Amino acid sequence: MKFGIVVNEGPYTHEASDTAYQFSKAALEKGHEVLRVFFYHDGVNNGTRLTTPPQDDRHITNRWSELAEQHGLDLVVCIAAAQRRGIVDPDEAKRQGKDANNIASGFRISGLGQLIEVGIQADRLMVFGD
């Protein structure tokens, strides 16, 4: 089965990101395909490389980055939601005149077209968070 995943909540304010990660990991281990994980609304906060949780806590951003590297996942952060929350990749930082970027490894910034596309291509679109 082909899954599209949407994460609408931040990494430490709601269980949505943890649950989406665990679902994606389990689906991949069972031989299913995760076409794309789309981070929307506060979910874009999963994509910042500046997250630094305490050592005894899980590092949700790193988990997503590692899963993407292991399985070639497409982790897409919504550009409009990211801009509102101060998350930029190198290209967007340059375009906006910022002196740095903060996008995490394995994540990329793109538009809502990526969400529409995965909704069409996937057998199931799973939404985590409000």
The yes-or-no answer on residue 78 being catalytic is yes
CA distance 27 to 111: 25
pLDDT band at 39 (very low <50, low <70, confident <90, very high): very high
128 forms bridges with which residues in the sheet?
A: 7
- What pLDDT sits at residue 36? 98
36 forms bridges with which residues in the sheet?
A: 4
Active-site annotation holder among 78, 82, 104, 118? 78
- What pLDDT sits at residue 20? 98
Instruction: Write the CATH number for 124.
Output: 3.40.1260.10
- What pLDDT sits at residue 70? 97
- What pLDDT sits at residue 101? 96
Domain coverage including residue 23 = 2-128
Q: How many domains does the chain have?
A: 1
Give per-residue pLDDT as tens, 74-87.
999 999 999 999 99
